[in-house]
Structure 1
Amino acid sequence: MPQHEKVSRVIDLVQEHYVFPEIAAEVTGLLRTRLAEGSYTGLADDALAIAITRDLQSANGDKHLRLLHHTDPVPESRGDDESDLTEMRTWADLTAHGVARAERLPGNVGYLDIQPILFPTAVAADAIAAAMTLVAPADALIIDLRGCLGGEVSMTSYFCAFLLGAEPVELSGIFEAATGRVRQLWTPAHVPGRRFGATKPLWLLTSGTTFSGGEAVAYDLQQLGRAVIVGDRTRGGAHPREGFRVAEFLEATIPVARSVSPITGTNWEGTGVTPDVECPADQALEVAYRAALNHVVELGGENGRRQVLDEARAALS
């Protein structure tokens, strides 16, 4: 396929699917101008993807609006849910279903490291339930989202349910361009395993790598006053997207919806989630852990908790 046909295909897809019609008109106009000027002429697919992505993001910096170059052929159809789940299951099996670490730190502080993504519930619900059950008895919990690159909306609500009570809580919904309506998102009333619950202290670690679904968890729990965010400002991607085949090795990812918080009426797109305690990401665990240990010390050593109190004091020294 000639390069001008690939660019024309991207233009058509953005016009048809992008959740912001005004921005779609602006960036596709720019692509047409660049095409007429010959800016894309002679570019190999990888260079074309970089150039098109730069122009697509020039209007509003939407990090989900991209042209991606793949080393393997892009499937003719990206809408096969079962095929997508099969790929996700393979990826999940190789990455502990997104639970990189689940452990009890000295002082009875729970720690979960979630990466590379929050996999769909159809793939990783059991793993998340098992991990949360392990850390549920902790006096405080640290969830590490510094390496979390995204997540699927059903998993973000499912995951948050373990950190809240049994009463459903409304999280950021999804405004869908196709319907013109906001699809509400609530935490489920029932989850398998044990909840950490809504009252014990919770810290979430973030970095400039934290993106999309990982940001959704941080943003919603921060807005609800449920968690203290520690680390760097997140990357800033709040628009759910779909992938569309452009050519054999090119895929356009286009936001077809946008997140809408029931509390703020907006989202973290472009700005990222601002930490409550800002510090370099590589120091966030230490900062949060010390805060958690201080909480454990304040609880004291009554009711057979002398060992926990001694552990906390030793870890602080």
Structure 2
Amino acid sequence: MKIAIRFAVLAGLVGFYFYAIAPMLFGVSQARDDAGKPMAESERKQMIQLLLARLDGFYLVPEKASEMRRVVEAAEAAGKYDHLTAGNQLANALTNDLRSVREDHHLTVEYKSIVLGPEEPPQGSKPDPGPDPGLLAAGGRAVAGVFRNYGVAEASVLDGNVGYLRLSGFSPSYLAAPKYASAMRKLHDTRAMIVDLRDNGGGYGAAGEVLASYFFDQRTRLNDTVYPREGVTVEGWTAEKLDGPRYGQQKPVYILTSRGTFSAAEDFAYALQQQKRALVVGESTRGGAHPVELFRLSDHFRVWVPTGWSHNVISNGNWDRTGVKPDLPMDASNALLRIQDRLAAQR
């Protein structure tokens, strides 16, 4: 694949944070032990060499990719992988060895018990697919199976006229946008908003930008995406036009997080926190700030390779490995009731 083609997809459809939902989105089962059919040594070596080649070609920190190659090749030479006959055991061992070089929660080798389909050019996963007929017919149904109501798990008005928006994930923006508009029509007249991301493992960052747009009155810069190998930064901004009514910048917004909040969900929380548009409440999040691409390594193995990183111009950094730190730290299980009590006291 040519770099220019790959980057055109990335730049045109920026905001891809897809690690947590991909296995479900594509209808692929979770890894199962298959100890009865051990992987042939020649097949394993070929798979590992393709893995290392993908890291050499695409990982966001080239020198770390070189170090990962040395670690994995040394482990292979020492026979570390020889007796890992279960596919998921080998995938976990490879993931752990790669992350021993650089703790990167998005960098993951996966094993699937069913035969994976072939890659289609351009290689790697598309950031935020547009509404072409094929995606609407097939991809839309697949996403619906992963995220109830395309990620909008609940939109309700709590006691005291407080809006409550619970998101289970971030679907592609063309699917999620109508659901956000519907939710905002329902919650527009509330006096405060609680956005619950405690069980949100990520998805498509572009959808997070659409949702964030409802909480600002003017065009506002969110989180950029840096692709170091191309030397390009793609700026992230709120949308100028929305299908539903803006919530605006004057009413308070609280974002609930947990240790399981990850990737695109962290992106959303961090952007509003840095703009001082929302208070983050609960626990520090998991800490994944890298857009990724997906590569098939064999019939049963694939790898998620981070190709860039998020960057916020206010903090001059991101939340990778540290997580988004809450403004009001507390046990995540108590966060909703605590904020409801806080808002009740302010009436």
Provide the TM-score with structure 2 as the length reference: 0.81
Shift, 1:40, TM fit: 1.0
Q: 1:131 aligns with which of 168, 183, 189?
A: 183
The letter for the 2-side match of 1:65 is L
Contact 2:170/2:205 (<8 A) preserved: no
- Structure 1 distance, partners of 2:108, 2:136, is 22
When residues 250 and 174 of structure 1 are mapped into structure 2, their CA distance, relative to the original with a 3 A threshold, is same
* Distance apart, 1:161 and its partner CA: 0.2
Cα distance change of structure 1 residues 79 and 223 upon mapping to structure 2, 3 Å threshold: closer
Pick closer, same or farther for the CA change 1:172–1:190 going to 2, 3 Å.
same
* TM-score of the two chains, using structure 1 as the length reference: 0.89
1:108 equivalenced with 2:149 (yes/no): no
- Separation of aligned partners in 1, 2:175 and 2:114: 24
Amino acid at match of 1:226: R
Structure 1 residue 84: Cα displacement:
6.8
Q: Any gaps of 5 or more consecutive residues in structure 1? A: 298-317
1:79 positional shift: 4.4
Give yes or no for contact 2:270–2:324 (8 Å, CA) kept in 1. Answer: yes
Distance in 2, matches of 1:162 and 1:201, equals 13
Does residue 71 of structure 1 match 2:123?
no
- 1:228 counterpart (269, 275, 279): 279
Deviation at 1:87, TM superposition (A): 5.7
Distance 2:343 2:202 in 1: 26
Q: Which residue of 2 aligns with 1:301?
A: none
Structure-2 separation of matches of 1:18 and 1:85: 31
| Percent of aligned pairs sharing the same letter | 32
Letter in 2 for 1:15: D
Letter in 2 for 1:131: A
Aligned to 1:56: 98
**The one of 56, 80, 87 aligned to 1:45:** 87
Is there any run of 5+ residues in structure 2 with no aligned partner, and where?
Answer: 1-41
Residues 188 and 18 (structure 1 numbering): CA distance in 2 closer, same or farther, change over 3 Å? same
Report which of the two structures shows the higher radius of gyration computed on alpha carbons: 1
Does the aligned pair in 1 maintain the 2:283–2:331 contact within 8 Å? yes
CA distance in 2 between partners of 1:238 and 1:97 (Å): 22
Distance 2:248 2:289 in 1: 26
1:29 to 1:74, Cα distance in 2 relative to 1, 3 A: same
Alignment length, in residue pairs?
294
Q: Give SS of 2:160's match.
A: coil
Aligned residue among 313, 316, 326 for 1:275: 326
SS at match of 1:15: helix
1:147-296 pair list within 5 angstroms: 147-165=199-217, 167-295=218-346
- CA distance, structure 1, for counterparts of residue 101 and residue 263 of structure 2: 20
8 Å CA contact retained: 2:227, 2:309:
yes
Are the equivalent residues in 1 in contact too, given 2:181–2:245 (CA < 8 A)?
yes
User: What is the DSSP-based 3-state SS (H/G/I as helix, E as strand, rest coil) of the residue aligned with 1:132?
Assistant: helix
- Which residue does the alignment assign to 2:37? none
Given that residues 98 and 119 in structure 1 are in contact (C-alpha distance below 8 angstroms), is that contact kept between their aligned partners in structure 2?
Answer: yes
1:85/1:254 CA distance change after superposition, 3 Å: farther
CA RMSD of aligned residues (A): 1.6
Distance 1:37 1:67, change over 3 A: same
Q: Deviations over 1:52-108 (max 9, x none)?
A: 000111122101011011233222115475677766422432311101111000110
How far the C-alpha of 1:45 sits from its partner, in A, is 1.6
2:54 corresponding residue in structure 1 = 13
* 1:267 maps to amino acid: N
- Over residues 261-281 of structure 1, what are the superposed CA-to-partner deviations in whole Å (9 max), with x where a residue is unaligned? 111121100000010111111
CA contact (8 A) 2:172 2:206 kept: yes
